[in-house]
Amino acid sequence: MNSLYMPKDSLIHSLDPRTKMLFVVFVVASSFILNDPALQLVFLVALFPLVVMAKVVKPYLISIQFLLLFAVLIMTVHGIYNPIGVTPVFEIFGGLTFKYESMVYASVMSFRILVIGTAAVLFVMTTHPSDMASALVKWKVPHSFAFILLSTFQIIPIIAREAKIVMEAQQARCLDVKGSLIQRVKNLVPMFAPLFIITFMKVHQLSYVLECRAFSRKGEKTSLRETKIGSLDYTFLLGMLGFLAFEIYLKLFMMGSLQLTTDALLTYSLFGTWIVFGFMIIKFVVKQFQGKIGGAN
């Protein structure tokens, strides 16, 4: 049902959802406080042990690929074309020059995306949606709002499944889904019309089902999945607080004397994203090729 949640037994999983929500807030704040590519890179690397601890390395790497696409795009396009750049770093063919200032700007942007993305993925993969809902309720979020959030998580896989059936059903009516671009745009109608109708029907049914189980009853509700803040959470929170204080100290008093960002770092991180991106493309092409041979759809 919950496509992104990975049920595993780990320290991160056993944290209270509230702690993890604060963690996401902390990471977002940090990514803005550490307004320097080198520090952000360090921060990104520092987050990785948490991913390992949560035992979600493989799914994490898969989902972070999409964010890497953004990073590659931002670093390349901004590095060359952003008008704030004045100091050239190196030139690629055709007179396209990467400039220092724009590279700093692009790196900050893309590392920020990756850092926040990592925290978000970590949160979603280690938190059961129901736990999140019940944690929100403990934060005095109205029950129905928590439920809206929860049902959104749950309805996405349902819609995805229905979409697959609808597509098969329309293909069974001789719809060519592998036609030209115009044809594909036209195909959206037979795809989405039944999908919308079915989704509305399902939501309508869901509302009845909820009412049958006294959803709108007034008063306090208990939850099957109880969440509790324990010593582990306090340790984690304290750690975050300490880190935050350190970051602010770094920002306020050390920034002048600390010059970690160099041309080499920027260039290597740019090349790094390119290389990873190149691997992704090769993997994609190989998969397509295999698909053609194996005849998988």
Partner 1 sequence: MEPYISVKNVSHKYPNGVTAIKDINLDIHEGEVVAILGSNGSGKTTLVKHFNGLLKPTKGEITVGTMNTKKERISKLSSRVGYVFQNPNHQTFLPSVKQELAYGCKNLKMTEEDIETRVQKAIDLFRLEDRLDDNPFDLNSSQRKEVAMASIMAVSPKVIVLDEPTTGQDHKGCKRVLELVRMFQREGHIVVLITHDMHLIGELNCRTVVMNQSEKIADDHASVVFSDKGIMEEAGLQPPQITQFANQITNLDEMKTYLTVESIIEWMKANKEEDVKVGTGS
Residues that bind partner 1 (CB under 8 A): 162, 165-166, 168-178, 189-190, 193-194, 197-198, 201, 294-297
Closest to partner 1 by CB, 83 vs 294, is 294
196 is written with which tokens? 């919308």
**Residue 209 beta carbon to partner 1: minimum distance, rounded to whole angstroms:** 18
Q: Cα–Cα distance between 1 and 154 in angstroms, integer?
A: 6
Q: What is the DSSP letter of 93?
A: G
Closest to partner 1 by CB, 25 vs 169, is 169
Closest to partner 1 by CB, 176 vs 263, is 176
Q: Cα–Cα distance between 44 and 110 in angstroms, integer?
A: 11
Strand partners, 99: 88
Closest to partner 1 by CB, 193 vs 260, is 193
CB atoms within 10 A of CB 239: 12
Closest to partner 1 by CB, 143 vs 202, is 202
Closest to partner 1 by CB, 95 vs 294, is 294
Closest to partner 1 by CB, 59 vs 194, is 194
Helix 188-212 with 143-171: angle, nearest 10 deg: 140
**Residue 188 beta carbon to partner 1: minimum distance, rounded to whole angstroms:** 11
Amino acid at 119: A
Q: What is the DSSP letter of 3?
A: S
- Please report, for the chain, how many H helices and E strands are present, in that order: 11, 2
Helix (H) or strand (E) holding 264: helix 263-294
**Residue 118 beta carbon to partner 1: minimum distance, rounded to whole angstroms:** 26
With beta carbons less than 8 A apart as the criterion, state whether 227 and 138 touch: yes
**Residue 69 beta carbon to partner 1: minimum distance, rounded to whole angstroms:** 22
**Residue 199 beta carbon to partner 1: minimum distance, rounded to whole angstroms:** 11
DSSP assignment of 20-46 equals HHHHHHHHHHHHHH--SHHHHHHHHHH
**Residue 198 beta carbon to partner 1: minimum distance, rounded to whole angstroms:** 5
What lies within 8 Å, CB to CB, of 43 at 6+ separation is: 30, 31, 34, 111, 115
**Residue 56 beta carbon to partner 1: minimum distance, rounded to whole angstroms:** 18
